[in-house]
Amino acid sequence: MAEGIGTVLVLGATADIGRAIARAFAAGGHALQLAARDRARLEHEARDIRVRASAPVALYGCDVLADAGGAALVDELDPLPDVAVCVIGLLDGRAERDRDIAARVMRTNYLGPSLLLGALAERFEKRGSGVLVGVSSVAGDRGRASNCVYGSAKAGFSAYLSGLRNRLAASGVHVVTVKPGYVRTRMTDGMDLPAPLAATPDEVADAVVRAVRRRRDVIYVRPIWRWIMLVVRVIPERAFKRLKL
């Protein structure tokens, strides 16, 4: 087991990226806590991990859109994990034209995960140790016409993680922001993703494990995205409005 990492909580463990992250940590000998809405899929994933890695796996229900949000989950965790990785998110192209879907996208990508990680941060801060990982998106680096709802939610989440990282810096708690770029998952199925820019879930998982061990602050899973988004951010607004992005 890697030094400094014990039990790992994966929030959104039935998503493709969540499953890959859970398997990567299990392969390193870490005990797992998996949380998601779908208990049946969680059970299936737990069986698979136990066969692959013989790692102890505990399962928890978690719905960040429920009235209680993630608060109930935090009270149930036993033990309190050493690392918590949040991959909860939702991409839905209809959000630009549908108010209800837009609200769901915003709550799933920003409000719910932020409140849940905030609740965990309180426990970690009181203990004086731990790592919180939030999987955000390059879409939050600058608002674009094609995904302003999703992008704005991810921008909020990235800003929250940044603030949390700075608030907890002296407490022994570290916060990592992960920006994958395009990832080949069920959520992007059918999209024409450029090969040089599209990662796999396993690639994201490996990057997350390295970031936790090295206590990185902000990572782009494929380094090329750092430079792409740097260019996107410096384009003057007057010119940016004319681009079809």
- pLDDT at position 5 is 67
Q: Give the mean pLDDT of the chain.
A: 93
pLDDT category at 1 given cuts 50, 70, 90 is: very low
CA distance 215 to 227: 22
What domains appear along the chain, each with residue ranges and CATH number? Answer: 8-240 (3.40.50.720)
Of 150, 160, 182, 220, the catalytic one is 150
Tens of pLDDT, residues 195-213? 889 899 999 999 999 999 9
CA distance 149 to 34: 28
Tokens 């999987």, located at residue:
135
Note if 220 is an active site residue.
Answer: no
Q: For residue 193, which of 206, 202, 205, 184 has the smallest C-alpha distance?
A: 184
Q: How many angstroms from the chain centroid is the CA of residue 185?
A: 14
Amino acid symbol at 147: N
Coil, helix or strand for 199? strand
Tokens 């395009």, located at residue:
182
CA distance 10 to 201: 14
Coil, helix or strand for 58? strand
CA distance 158 to 243: 24
Tens of pLDDT, residues 27-41? 999 999 999 999 999
- pLDDT at position 112 is 95
User: What is the reported pTM?
Assistant: 0.94
